[in-house]
Structure 1
Amino acid sequence: MPSYPNYNTEEQYMRIITGKARGLQLTVPKTYDVRPTADRVKESVFNIIGSKIIGAEVLDLFAGTGNLGLESWSRGAAAVTFIDASKESLRLVRSNIVKCRAEADCRVLQGSAPAVAERLAAAGELFDFAFCDPPYNKGWIEQIIALLGKKSFLRPGGYLVVERSAHNALPELPAGCELVRSSRYGETIVDFICYNML
């Protein structure tokens, strides 16, 4: 059973690590419903991505606080779309966007991540990076990866970055998707999946 930080006692903070909003504190919730990516994991993920994030269009599938999407924006992403089913999470996302003064480059959509991503893909909207950091053990990763196999929301050469518990295996990837890297950080694994249209 993965351990979760206790966010119940008081409102917590996370920070933008580098870029134009470097050091800015992001508000995170008091509840267990959102599990923000730890700073050390986030820093490693973005070190791996490197300069590819500059000018990229980014999809934050399970936005939570907007942590990953706003770090992308701070590091030079051109536009970020945030998805979350929770109104409270989206309230935090909007608040953090305003803190970063990133309103002109950000969009917030409410709904189930697989359904919204499929709708965006059907409308011809494709992304260079999609971050998939859902609640653990709920089947969300399987749904997102299955969607890539039938209606990709990524451009050819785009990356799905998945954060999962070390206790859960990555599902089988559909044709056109390649696991290019997996990194473990304690009980967390981050997978980099490249979408190459056949």
Structure 2
Amino acid sequence: MRIIAGTHRGTQLSAVGKGDAAAHLRPTTDRVRESLFNVLQSGRFGDPISGARVLDLFAGTGALGLEALSRGAAHVTFVDSGRVAQKLIRDNIAKLRREPDCTLIGSDAQKLPTAPNPCVLVFIDPPYGQNRGGPALAHAKAQRWIASEALIVWEESSAQIAPPGCTILDQRRYGDSWITFMKADT
């Protein structure tokens, strides 16, 4: 795994190999991450990355949030309850020397505290097929983590239906992964 583009382009991230089934880690592949960020930076959704506050739910290795930082995001809050994931995220933040621009919350995504600032870009990559994404988004929205009209990027094993308070903008399939782009309603 590596950072694909931006100021940290080419930096190798701490990897979990093919994933850690016991910790439910399933890193987004470089190819899927590159395709996802190509869509984000195509202009179709404006410029959702530059200067953005980003929320990375079920962050795993932190690769999605770190890619956003590399491409110009201002701050990323990583959320993951797994100790293995938290160590990987801390290691990867340190590799990029971005500690001032990152916050790591070691918590279940459905137990977030109230947000100090809402985020305009949200990545959510829950364990596939466990129906955890919708409840996590609802909780994050209730705790004011998701700004009005925020762009939400949801990776899952199937195309997702927009939960209440969201509108689907686009859906794309990459191998066994579906990426659903949604907008948080006002």
Work out whether the TM-score is over 0.5.
Answer: yes
Which amino acid in the other structure matches residue 117 of structure 2? E
Partner residue, 1:181:
170
Partner residue, 2:44:
none
Q: Percent identity?
A: 41
Q: Which one has a bigger Cα radius of gyration?
A: 1
SS in 2 for 1:21: coil
- 1:151 Cα deviation after fit: 4.9
SS in 2 for 1:191: strand
Partner residue, 2:14:
27
Partner residue, 1:62:
58
SS in 2 for 1:68: helix
- Residues 76-133 of structure 1: CA distance to partner in whole angstroms, max 9, x if unpaired? 00000111101121111000001011111011110101211xx234xx5310111101
Partner residue, 2:36:
45
Contact 1:28 1:65 in 2 (8 A): yes
Unaligned runs of 5+ in 1: 1-13
Q: Once structures 1 and 2 are overlaid, which stretch shifts more, 75-84 or 152-161? A: 152-161
- 1:140 Cα deviation after fit: 1.0
Partner residue, 2:154:
162
- 1:29 Cα deviation after fit: 1.9
**Distance in 2, Cα, partners of 1:173 & 1:181:** 14
Compute the TM-score of the two structures, normalised by the length of structure 1: 0.83
Compute the TM-score of the two structures, normalised by the length of structure 2: 0.88
Matched ranges for 1:8-157 at <5 A: 14-30=1-17, 31-32=20-21, 33-50=24-41, 51-116=47-112, 119-121=113-115, 124-147=116-139, 150-157=142-149
Which amino acid in the other structure matches residue 74 of structure 1? S
Which amino acid in the other structure matches residue 151 of structure 2? Y
Q: Once structures 1 and 2 are overlaid, which stretch shifts more, 139-148 or 63-72? A: 139-148
- Residues 49-99 of structure 1: CA distance to partner in whole angstroms, max 9, x if unpaired? 114201000011111111001000000000001111011211110000010
Cα RMSD after superposing both structures? 1.7
Unaligned runs of 5+ in 2: 42-46
